[in-house]
């Protein structure tokens, strides 16, 4: 069992920054695959495929996979939330731009920090954390202003905000219930195993499966399954199991910046000085939320 830590160290920061970059890229990948596979079916098929990849990895690593350790009920709950989250996010990317979706979806830290303040012992919102979150909020607002001129839809915006709340609920439930007894692989298997049938059933009801898939569509989809979901989310759950969720969640403020960057790189979206200023505010916010005074030296 990994020892809990009260702050984000260099290892945790590196993993969280890498995961944020992967999440930023993921918005672009979803939008690309949406052209060939209907959004809800894409989400369900991704969960189904990733379930078997994660299961194989867990077995090879000798992880203990159990539903009798008290984790079953919260595991099913987070699985349903996972399905709801991605059903909304994948559809939102049919209505709005990647940059706008990233900005709104990654309001998650606001919800998770507020929830942690009430539900997680030792993770109260301090004055310094409040200031840090305010700086990060300014950065997100600047990014939103930068992207407000196009690719917007009220329905898409609402979908992203509600999806962000579902993601925050998953983080808090994972940390505050018996689900934390399960290894990261088992936590992810709950989400994938429950979400896959729910999403595929929702796709059947919506009547949407394939659009015009190409070889590129399936290649990008395979990358999502193996790298984004299997490797990326396993890493995130491992970090979640040992670091304070209020502190680590603020790193997801980086994801909108990465989303805009990859949108520019892959989809040729415009990028200006406004987004660079936003990223500076976000970086300051992260530093303030994670700031800890150095311990005083005892006199000899």
- Between 212 and 149, the higher pLDDT residue: 212
Res 249: pLDDT: 61
Residue 37 neighbours by CB under 8 Å, 6+ apart:
45, 209, 210, 211, 213, 217, 221
Residue 215 reports pLDDT greater than 90 = yes
Q: State pLDDT tens for residues 83-107.
A: 999 999 999 998 888 877 877 787 7
144-150 LR contacts (CB < 8 Å, sep 24+): 144/100, 144/103, 144/104, 145/274, 146/99, 146/260, 146/272, 146/274, 146/275, 146/278, 147/97, 147/99, 147/100, 147/103, 147/260, 148/100, 150/97
Q: State pLDDT tens for residues 12-64.
A: 888 888 988 998 899 999 999 999 999 999 999 999 999 999 999 889 888 88
Range 142-170 average pLDDT: 76
Q: How far is CA 129 from CA 72, 73, 136, 264, 290, in A?
A: 34, 32, 10, 31, 8
- Between 247 and 16, the higher pLDDT residue: 16
Using DSSP's 3-state secondary structure scheme, residue 210 falls into strand
Contact 111, 152 (CB under 8 A): no
Contact 257, 279 (CB under 8 A): yes
Contact 191, 170 (CB under 8 A): yes
Domain residue extents for the chain = 10-289
- The secondary structure element, H or E, covering residue 216 is helix 215-223
- Other CB atoms within a 10 A radius of the CB of residue 218 amount to 13
Number of residues in the chain: 300
Q: State pLDDT tens for residues 173-205.
A: 988 899 988 888 899 999 999 999 999 999 999
Q: State pLDDT tens for residues 252-283.
A: 667 778 888 898 899 887 777 776 787 788 77
**Mean predicted lDDT score pLDDT of the chain:** 84
Buried b (16+ CB within 10 A) or exposed e, 279-297: bebbbbbbebbbeeeeeee
Q: How far is CA 54 from CA 50, 91, 201, in A?
A: 6, 25, 22
CA pair distance 196, 189, nearest whole angstrom? 10
CA pair distance 229, 43, nearest whole angstrom? 11
Residue 147 reports pLDDT greater than 60 = no
Confidence of residue 300 (pLDDT cuts 50, 70, 90): very low
Q: At what angle do helices 127-146 and 254-267 cross, to 10 degrees?
A: 20
Residue 297 reports pLDDT greater than 80 = no
Counting residues of the chain whose pLDDT is more than 70, the rounded percentage is 88
- Other CB atoms within a 10 A radius of the CB of residue 6 amount to 10
Residue 229 reports pLDDT greater than 90 = no
Residue 122 reports pLDDT greater than 90 = no
Instruction: Kindly report which listed range (6-15, 103-112, 150-159, 289-298) carries the lowest average pLDDT score.
Output: 289-298
CA pair distance 218, 200, nearest whole angstrom? 18
């Amino acid at each position: 069992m990994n020892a809990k830590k009260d702050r984000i160290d260099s290892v945790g920061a590196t993993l969280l920054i890498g995961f944020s970059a992967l999440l930023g890229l993921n918005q672009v990948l979803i939008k690309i695959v949406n052209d060939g596979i209907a959004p809800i079916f894409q989400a369900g098929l991704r969960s189904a495929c990733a379930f078997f990849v994660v299961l194989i990895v867990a077995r090879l690593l000798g992880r203990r996979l159990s539903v009798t350790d008290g984790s079953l009920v919260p595991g099913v709950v987070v699985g349903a939330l996972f399905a709801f989250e991605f059903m909304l996010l994948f559809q939102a990317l049919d209505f709005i731009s990647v940059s706008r979706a990233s900005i709104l979806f990654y309001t998650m830290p606001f919800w998770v920090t507020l929830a942690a303040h009430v539900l997680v012992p030792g993770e109260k919102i301090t004055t310094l954390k409040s200031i840090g979150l305010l700086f990060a909020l300014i950065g997100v607002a600047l990014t939103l202003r930068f992207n407000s001129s196009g690719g917007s839809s009220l329905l898409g915006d609402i979908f992203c905000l509600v999806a962000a709340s579902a993601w925050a609920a998953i983080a808090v439930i994972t940390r505050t219930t018996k689900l934390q007894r399960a290894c990261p692989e088992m936590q992810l298997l709950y989400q994938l195993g429950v979400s896959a049938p729910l999403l595929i059933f929702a796709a059947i009801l919506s009547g949407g499966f394939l659009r015009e898939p190409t070889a590129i569509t399936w290649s990008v989809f395979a990358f999502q399954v193996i790298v984004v979901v299997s490797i990326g989310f396993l890493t995130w759950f491992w970090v979640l199991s040992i670091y304070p969720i209020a502190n680590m969640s603020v790193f997801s403020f980086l994801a909108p910046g990465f989303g805009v960057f990859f949108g520019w790189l892959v989809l040729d979206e415009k990028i200006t000085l406004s987004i660079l200023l936003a990223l500076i505010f976000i970086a300051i916010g992260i530093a303030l939320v994670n700031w800890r005074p150095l311990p005083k030296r005892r006199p000899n």
